[in-house]
Amino acid sequence: MGQMDRRDFGRVLAAGVAGALAAPSAEAVAPVGPGGGLTEVAGIKVGHFTDSRRPTGCTVVLTEEGAVCGVDVRGGAPGTRETDLLAPVSMVPTVHALVLSGGSAFGLDSATGVMRYLEERRIGFEVGVGRVPIVPAAILFDLGLGDWTVRPDAAAGQAAARAASAGPVAEGNVGAGAGATVGKLFGPERAMKSGLGTAAVKLPGGVVVAALVAVNAWGDVSDPWTGALVAGARDADGRRLHGTIRALLEGYGPGRGATEGQNTTIGVVATNVSLTKAQATKVAQMAHDGLARTVQPAHTPWDGDTLFAVSTGAIRMATPDLVVGIVAAEAVARAVLRAVQLAKGLPGLPAAADLAPSRGSG
């Protein structure tokens, strides 16, 4: 196990973080290469199930050797499973998988399929008579696209787990991001297609912090490095971005078409730095800064924004939650941008690549 003392910690802050957190280049939004994104963290596998019948699906993050995990849930409309186990005072020390799913509360059933997959391989928390896989989950609402009775179930979760690998992570209209949308102030007819994105940040000494996010926000997504709106609420003609904050400042009030409760951004942050459950919880809290920088507004009463933070524990360092939390926010911000930049539009629901560019945050 690696060890990073306080002098190394200071060098990381001085020499590594500044460079790692510089504004991403144009190449940063190109499809990730082998092992890119969340799977840059050794011991992490990612798999998707994308339903061919309508835009929905689920994404599974496998930590089969067990990983310390924390969670932070914000916004007024969350849908989660097994998050109480992640409290620092709870007994279970590690998780074996995490599930992000579409399908609203119905999608939580996909975690059952992941449990079956792990049970078949005798992976789980030892309880004497057997092993119980620990699989927390979070969902987003995508039932408004197509036949709402089609949603991820246990079979979908099992299929995503079987597809999981440590290789390239597919992004865009896949898995939990298949039915994701953003910019819903004016209703679904002026919203935009979003998706799922992932990004990794590497620091000196082998430290890796990565994020994977399915972006289904009520608000818009902007680039914090340029101030440009990337995707969100469109003008009445549908050709340009109007901006949720701008509309609210102009006096527009959300009406019945504003998709109350039909939103939520969910994600996973992973690192190879050793964290306790309390430290992982703090990292999950700090990682939400990445949502606040990119999603405008974030954490609304109509979103159930949830971020998990997992640690594989390969590297030890002084005050790890400080460094990892700072970098996690940046990884989340990059992953959010990738989610909208790599999404592909659907009929009547354009993606960022389909619209004229917009400057300013509205």
Instruction: Note whether 299 and 340 are within 8 A (CB).
Output: no
Query: Is 227's pLDDT higher than 50?
Result: yes
- The answer as to whether 361 is a domain residue is no
- The answer as to whether 282 is a domain residue is yes
The token duo for 190 is 């002026």
pLDDT tier at 359 (50, 70, 90 boundaries)?
very low
The token duo for 315 is 């590297």
Question: By residue range, what is the domain housing residue 274?
Answer: 2-21+31-354
User: H or E segment at 339?
Assistant: helix 320-341
pLDDT tier at 358 (50, 70, 90 boundaries)?
low
- The answer as to whether 206 is a domain residue is yes
Query: Is 217's pLDDT higher than 80?
Result: yes
Q: What DSSP state is assigned to residue 349? A: B
DSSP-derived 3-state class of residue 356: coil
d(CA 333, CA 287) in angstroms, rounded, equals 9
Cα–Cα distances (Å) from 302 to 264, 306, 360, in that order, read 8, 13, 25
pLDDT of residue 236: 87
Instruction: Note whether 98 and 176 are within 8 A (CB).
Output: no
Query: Is 28's pLDDT higher than 50?
Result: no
Which string of DSSP letters, residue by residue, matches 139-184?
Answer: E---TTSS-TT----HHHHHHHHHH-BSSPPP-BSSGGGTT-EE--
Cα–Cα distances (Å) from 263 to 55, 119, 135, 183, in that order, read 15, 32, 22, 10
Q: Which of 190, 254, 245, 252 is nearest to 221 (CA)?
A: 245
Contacts of 52 (CB under 8 A, 6+ apart): none
Total count of domains within the chain:
1
Q: Look up residue 230 and give its amino acid.
A: V
d(CA 46, CA 214) in angstroms, rounded, equals 13
pLDDT of residue 194: 97
Query: Is 7's pLDDT higher than 60?
Result: no
- The answer as to whether 215 is a domain residue is yes
Q: What is the CATH number of the domain that holds 131?
A: 3.60.70.12
- The answer as to whether 362 is a domain residue is no
pLDDT of residue 261: 58
- N-term to C-term CA, the chain: 48
pLDDT of residue 111: 98
Contacts of 118 (CB under 8 A, 6+ apart): 64, 96, 97, 124, 133, 135, 161
- The answer as to whether 47 is a domain residue is yes
- The answer as to whether 73 is a domain residue is yes
pLDDT of residue 307: 98
pLDDT of residue 240: 86
- The answer as to whether 56 is a domain residue is yes
